[in-house]
């Protein structure tokens, strides 16, 4: 039987349909392709963008828009190489963006 903390964590890590839609509307495709100015004719041959967790779910990264970004497969496979660019994008979107707030924390443990 799952404890209250386990249930709260599962809920915090889950990504709702509304969150998927919010991220899709915010990003509209691979953020890095757009920021790097990939020429539209080349972009037609690139795989479609998919959602990427900035803080991985395996490390308790929450399923919130501030932790999700759309990347194509090319940029997704080397996402650590682009960490600074991704952080800059999040900071442009959210003036109060803080990567410490993207991780699920059990109440009373990390204070």
Tell me the per-residue pLDDT of 66-83, one tens digit each, with 9 for 90 and over.
Answer: 999 999 888 888 888 999
Q: Residue 97: name the closest of 86, 107, 111, 105 by CA.
A: 86
**Per-residue pLDDT for 25 more than 90?**
yes
Q: Angle at the Cα of 8 (from 57 to 97), degrees rounded to 5? A: 55
Q: Where are the domains of the chain?
A: 27-102
Q: What is the DSSP letter of 39?
A: -
Residue pair 66/72 in contact (Cβ under 8 Å)? The answer is no
- Could you give the count of Cα atoms lying within 13 Å of 7 in the half-sphere of its Cβ? 4
Tell me the three state secondary structure of residue 110: coil
- Whether residue 110 has pLDDT greater than 60: no
With a cut of 80, say whether residue 47 has pLDDT above it.
no
Q: What is the pLDDT of residue 43?
A: 54
């Amino acid at each position: 039987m799952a404890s209250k903390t386990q249930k709260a964590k599962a809920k915090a890590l889950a990504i709702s349909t509304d969150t998927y839609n919010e991220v899709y509307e915010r990003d509209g495709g691979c953020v890095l392709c757009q920021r790097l100015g990939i020429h539209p004719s080349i972009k037609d041959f690139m795989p479609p963008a998919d959602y990427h967790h900035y803080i991985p779910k395996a490390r308790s990264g929450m399923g919130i828009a501030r932790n999700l970004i759309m990347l194509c497969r090319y940029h997704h496979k080397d996402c650590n190489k682009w960490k600074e660019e991704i952080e800059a994008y999040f900071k442009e979107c959210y003036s109060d963006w803080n990567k410490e707030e993207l991780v699920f924390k059990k109440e009373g443990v990390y204070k």
